[in-house]
Amino acid sequence: MASKMTLSDLHKRLKATGIPVAYSHFKVSEESQAPAPPYILYLETATTSFYADNKAYKRIKSVDIELYTAKKDLEKESLIEKLLNDANLPYQPDETYLESQQVFKRTYEVWVD
C-alpha cells in the first residue's frame, strides 16, 4: 500500500542523497551532458485507481526508482534503502547488468499517492 508520499516528495528525498536525479531521463544537449554513474532515474510505471460510488476515490502510482552504478555499490544501495525505509515506503528491488552501457541498474519499485 502506498504511503502519503507524492512524486514531488519522492523527488526531494532522492535529491537529498546527493546523487544526480532526474524523472525518466536527463536532458542532453551541447551544453548539458548526462552525468556519469552513479545517478538515479525514477518513472511512474502505472496507476491503480480504487472506486466507490462510481468515482475514483484513491489513486496509487507505481514508481520505479533506478540506481545506475559503474560497479556494484552496496553503499549507494544502502543509502536508497534507508531513504525508503525511513519514509515507510515498502519496495521491491531488482537488479541487472546492462552490458551495452556497462552499468549495474538496481530498480526499486515503490507505490506513492
CATH number at residue 68: 3.30.2000.30
Q: At what angle do helices 74-86 and 7-15 cross, to 10 degrees?
A: 140
What pLDDT is attached to residue 99? 97
Helical spans, DSSP H, in 16-113: 74-86
Residues of the domain holding 47: 7-112
- Residue 2 pLDDT exceeds 70: no
Residue 12 is assigned to a structural domain of this protein: yes
Q: Domain for residue 30, yes or no?
A: yes
Here the cell at position 58 is 484513491
Report the domain count for the chain.
Answer: 1
* pTM of the complete model beyond 0.75: yes
Give the mean model confidence (pLDDT) for residues 13-30: 95
Cite the beta strand spans of 1-113 per DSSP E: 21-23, 39-52, 55-69, 92-98, 103-112
Domain membership of residue 1 (yes or no) is no
Is the pLDDT reported for residue 49 higher than 50? yes
Asked whether residue 104 is domain-assigned, the answer is yes
Note whether residue 2 is domain-resident.
Answer: no
